Amino acid sequence: MSQKHLVCQGATCQCQFGNASDKLKVLTQTKAFINEEEPQEKLVATTADIGATFEKNTFGLCQMQPIPGGGYKPCQAMVTQWSGAYDNITYEENNGHPLLEDSKATCPIGGKDCISIINHGQVAEITNRNLHSADPIKMDMINPFMDFGKFVNDSIDSSVNKKITSLTWVDKNREPIDYFDEKQSVFYILAQTQNYTKGETVSIEVEESNQEKIQDGNYLIPLSSVVEADGTALFEVNINEKNTTINHGLAQEKKKVIERRIIARVVGSDVVSSPLEERAKISPTILVTYGQKIVSKDNDDKFVKQTGEGCAKLLGVNAQPVSTGKELLQTMENAGRIGAFVFWGHSWNRGLYLKDNEGFYVDTIEKILGNHRDSSDFELLKGMKQRTIKTHKHSLFIFASCGTALQPAAIEIDEIKYTFDSFAYAFGNYINKEIDIVDDEVTYYYKITTIGATALSNLFWDKEYFKGKVKTDGVFKKIEKLYKITVIPENSELHTNTEIVETRVTDLGKKIDVIKIIKDYDPENISI
């Protein structure tokens, strides 16, 4: 133990899975101190100091807890045990053993010994007064290899060498961020300082990287803040609402539109923050379609048409008629980036029934049964992946028609059993997941929600078919699927691998209000 320091109040700790440090607080004893000038501030830390025993109780973002869509959950530091303590001493007050500088702590998330002590907390300090009063001749005799005069000068200089060492964009809870949405106007910058004392003032500047005016007609925003006890300073940045227009073109690039890059810098220093980027949101499209079989039952098509147009009117869009699966695909391609979609018409668990047999089907079983007049029809659903249909971060597809969510039993043909998902269950796996890709992203998440009935549906529930209400003899199923895309570089091109991360099926009951569902739909919410 002779070569190791005891750990005390204020010791700096770091988790191997976090991106920030925190300081230890001694909460379990009040009598044992490190022998320093102000011992009341230097309580000895022991193995009894477990639980939430840090100043902030967080090590920043926890790499062991990734969030769908990118990033990590905030760390909630919690110590369950310490290892590597000095077992020869036991304090009566808390029955703990003193911690050493190489002791480690265990967290239930990070695992055994994931938290290390990077500074023990003891301070051995020589003041300027001590240096000036020391006899240089005696000091040279004690240590002839040391230029004491130079040491004094260097020490005095270092005491006034105050600087900001880093600038980090954070939220109001001091969690690091790298982008903001288009409605945000208040931001925070966390500065880490060196050789500043609590209460001192520090200054920085904020500017837009493309040299546009950022506030009150100015190109630069000068900011000041006060240094806190831990050496950090928090700046609040207020940016005026921009007068530029985001390009909402829906038939364009794969990369997210970045409109602004905001940078903070220390004046007269090379310390610059990473750019804070604004990612423009592309408005999702609401697409209302209705199927036209074009058969002898003209009234049937008429009622479907009235239902679709009534629903579209309430949603503030135009209804789109389709008579074949190919027309439906083309309509979806022309719609822009689909957020919410609804189909009114005829269907069953195999697919959407349109003109003759030219509908839109679950491919495998239709091919087996030979129910296609056009032999290529069974490829339509599977081929959606190759179409230029665009979806949103979360896209909703409602099939307000019969039986699309009825899960069939295995079908036996020529002593061979075939099983397949119903149309509503299979649809999310085939729809193109063409969302925007940012250069530095290697994985991202998106969600497809489909809603379908398990039995016959009645478009005329309470004679309110103009109002988007519908009932079924069975129940409506909501099928939510969370997908993960991994971007894979291959021969200088980007390819993607898609996998289902999570699936959830919810019974919505016998009746649904399509208008309410679409109005309540959140295109940014990918939670299951």
CATH code of the domain in which 256 resides: 2.60.40
Helix, coil or strand: residue 470: strand
CA distance 470 to 320: 19
In angstroms, the Cα distances linking 315 to 326, 330, 468, 499, 521 are 25, 21, 10, 33, 12
Nearest to 12 by CA among 329, 231, 288: 231
Structural domain count, the chain: 4
Nearest to 325 by CA among 356, 279, 280: 356
| 46 and 18 within one domain | yes
| 425 and 317 within one domain | yes
| 458 and 329 within one domain | yes
- Domain extent, residue 25, equals 1-125
**453 phi/psi in degrees, rounded to 5:** -95, 155
Could you read off the pLDDT of 371-421 as tens digits, one per residue? 554 444 555 666 666 567 788 888 999 999 999 999 876 667 677 666 678
Name the more confident of 394 and 362: 394
Residue 467 placed within a domain: yes
Could you read off the pLDDT of 277-300 as tens digits, one per residue? 766 555 678 999 998 876 545 567
Residue 233 placed within a domain: yes
Which tokens is 420 given? 């397949």
CA distance 425 to 434: 20
The residue from 224, 256, 279 where one domain ends is 279
Nearest to 161 by CA among 273, 10, 269: 269
Query: Does 251 score more than 50 pLDDT?
Result: no
The arithmetic mean of pLDDT across residues 19-30, rounded, is 89
Cβ(13)–Cβ(118) below 8 Å: yes
| 270 and 289 within one domain | no
The arithmetic mean of pLDDT across residues 182-207, rounded, is 84
Residue 258 placed within a domain: yes
Residue 525 placed within a domain: no
Instruction: Tell me the pairing of strands 360-361 and 351-353.
Output: antiparallel
How much of the chain, in percent, has pLDDT values that exceed 90? 23
The residue from 247, 279, 311 where one domain ends is 279
CA distance 290 to 512: 17
| 274 and 185 within one domain | yes
Residue 515 placed within a domain: yes
Q: Is the dihedral of CA 83, 85, 89, 94 positive or negative?
A: negative
Could you read off the pLDDT of 111-156 as tens digits, one per residue? 999 999 988 887 655 545 455 555 555 555 555 555 656 555 555 4
Could you read off the pLDDT of 78-123 as tens digits, one per residue? 999 999 998 888 888 899 999 999 999 999 888 999 999 988 887 6
Which tokens is 175 given? 């969690």
Which tokens is 247 given? 């390009």
| 496 and 357 within one domain | yes
The residue from 256, 279, 302 where one domain ends is 279
Name the more confident of 104 and 363: 104
Instruction: Tell me the pairing of strands 258-265 and 201-208.
Output: antiparallel
Instruction: Tell me the pairing of strands 416-418 and 285-291.
Output: unpaired
Residue 33 placed within a domain: yes
Nearest to 424 by CA among 466, 454, 387: 454
Cβ(402)–Cβ(456) below 8 Å: yes
